[in-house]
A and B are shown apart, each in its own frame.
Chain A
């Protein structure tokens, strides 16, 4: 049996580490104290790792030290990736976390079998099932985000049936093992089937669903670590896993609410099933008004209050630094500029905030959907950059629209709306956006980075 340490010293070290972990998350609540939170987490981690190394009945250090060094060597570049690559980095780290948990669980089974008590076998099964499906699922998500794999969702008939069937079989096998832990030859199935399930689960998922999926995988990774805590009888691990699981759960719920998906829809991993084209029936050629950078700059310069609504398209075009110049130019003229950010903008929760913060836009100008929506009625210009579905007023009014009920940014309430867009192509969900045909809307066709750059030049040229 490899239970965690029996000495009291190490239990006290773990106790302190646990307190530091909770403080770490508590301090993350505000940008002012957040860095202190990271520091607390680091100290807690250091205490726990050093404590374990010193106090436990460890007989061989060589491989442990090699592994710690190797892990650090891999970890440093993973900590240095560009901010646009943070979603895939996060997915990759979920995969690593899940790999660790699955490997430890597998070894624990073979060390203990055949006499594993039923409860122990149940949590062990949960550990490896959640761990292995999170491992391959996260690798697939990372591949899609990095665009190594096709981002387009791939669906086929009976997909949910196949997926839930696979998961069902794994759970049944786990049930058999709980009753008969001596049937050791069954164990590879509860690792292997979830590995396949993880891949199948991500196949039908498209880019815009990634925020939900990453949060969900986050939650799974946390729960599998908590299950590992049950197996190893480690309070520290149970608590850290529960905190991570809770965090992923809260984010998943936020994301699913922001996309108007029911929670059971999220739990069963059946995202991206939305049937595009339901509302694409009426396709008469409606006219839009377009404008040049010169005209756009003129309208912005005459405004008092501007709200910029960025979407993932802004990040794709790498336009955030030009947007920052625009922000500076307008602020210098005494114009009040804020950013309205939809919870699912970007490829993971909070992604857009990080990208804009990197471009040096002060965080108190970055407002959440709920905070900004009341402001649009008093806004002179709403400038939409690379966002589409999250501004679609059909979500409020058109019962037949697939996105009906999804909370949106009320940009159509602003006096003038300007939308920077490459062309009139429909958004992710393949839904037409009535916003573009409003009389108050001006379409600014072009690449976001170039277009914003041109506006900035016009503003600077048309000196005070």
Chain B
């Protein structure tokens, strides 16, 4: 599916609006987990890196492989670390009140 410039811009604009609306509602209480979660989601860039490293290239194959591989390592560490720490933080948030442990 090829995207033209205008379609890409539409997608970006709509996503930005959704982002503003959704993230505005996040309580300041959770701003740290918010940042670590968006960081993990942002590491979806790994998809681009995987294709770069794995696809067949007529020329520049070595460059693509080296840079792609390093990029995968960087992004994967964000995915794993980001989800782990977000969940760890969220587990710590407990409500007070009628003794529920």
Q: Which A residues lie at the B interface, using CB under 8 A?
A: 2-4, 6, 11, 17, 21-22, 24-26, 28-31, 34-35, 37-38, 41-42, 44-45, 48-49, 52-53, 56-61, 63-64, 66-68, 70-72, 74-81, 83, 86, 89-90, 93-94, 96-97, 99-101, 103-104, 106-108, 110-111, 119, 214-215, 218, 221-222, 225-226, 228-230, 232-251, 254, 341, 343, 348-351, 353-354, 357-358, 360, 362-366, 368
Cα-based distance from A89 to B35 in the complex (angstroms): 11
Cβ–Cβ < 8 Å partners of A71 in chain B = 72-77, 79-80
Q: Which of B2, B38, B81 contacts A78 (CB 8 A)?
A: B81
Q: Would B91 and A35 count as touching, CB distance under 8 A? A: yes
Cβ–Cβ < 8 Å partners of A365 in chain B = 96
Q: Would A225 and B42 count as touching, CB distance under 8 A? A: yes
Q: Would A57 and B56 count as touching, CB distance under 8 A? A: yes
Q: Which of A25, A239, A247 contacts B11 (CB 8 A)?
A: A239
Cα-based distance from A71 to B53 in the complex (angstroms): 15
Cβ–Cβ < 8 Å partners of A90 in chain B = 32, 35-36, 39
Q: Which of A24, A86, A96 contacts B37 (CB 8 A)?
A: A24
Closest residue to B76 on the A side, CB-wise? Answer: A71
In this complex, the member of B23, B74, B82 whose beta carbon has the largest number of chain A beta carbons within 10 angstroms is B74
Q: Which of B2, B8, B92 contacts A354 (CB 8 A)?
A: B92
Cβ–Cβ < 8 Å partners of A362 in chain B = 94-97
Closest residue to A74 on the B side, CB-wise? Answer: B77
Decide: A42 near B76, CB < 8 A? Known: A34-B33, A90-B35, A363-B93.
no
Q: Which B residues lie at the A interface, using CB under 8 A?
A: 1-3, 5, 8, 11-12, 15-16, 18-20, 22-57, 59-60, 63-65, 67-97
Q: Would A238 and B44 count as touching, CB distance under 8 A? A: no
Cα-based distance from A99 to B72 in the complex (angstroms): 10
Q: Determine how close the nearest CB of chain B comes to the CB of A408; give it in whole angstroms.
A: 16
Per DSSP, chain B at the interface is: helix
In this complex, the member of B11, B27, B47, B65 whose beta carbon has the largest number of chain A beta carbons within 10 angstroms is B47
Q: Which of A72, A74, A221, A348 contacts B42 (CB 8 A)?
A: A221
Cα-based distance from A91 to B35 in the complex (angstroms): 10
Decide: A348 near B35, CB < 8 A? Known: A243-B41, A353-B30.
yes
Decide: A247 near B34, CB < 8 A? Known: A56-B55, A240-B42.
yes
Contacts A/B (CB < 8 Å), 14 sampled: A28-B37, A29-B27, A38-B87, A60-B54, A75-B81, A75-B84, A83-B92, A93-B78, A100-B74, A104-B45, A241-B45, A349-B31, A350-B34, A354-B32
Q: Would A243 and B38 count as touching, CB distance under 8 A? A: yes
**A75-B76, A75-B79, A243-B15 are known contacts; what are 9 more A-B pairs with Cβ within 8 Å?**
A17-B44, A31-B29, A38-B83, A52-B50, A63-B54, A71-B75, A80-B85, A243-B41, A244-B39
Q: Which of B47, B71, B77, B93 contacts A52 (CB 8 A)?
A: B47
Cα-based distance from A101 to B40 in the complex (angstroms): 14
Closest residue to A14 on the B side, CB-wise? Answer: B47
Closest residue to A58 on the B side, CB-wise? Answer: B54
Q: Determine how close the nearest CB of chain B comes to the CB of A322; give it in whole angstroms.
A: 18
Cβ–Cβ < 8 Å partners of A226 in chain B = 12
Closest residue to A53 on the B side, CB-wise? Answer: B50
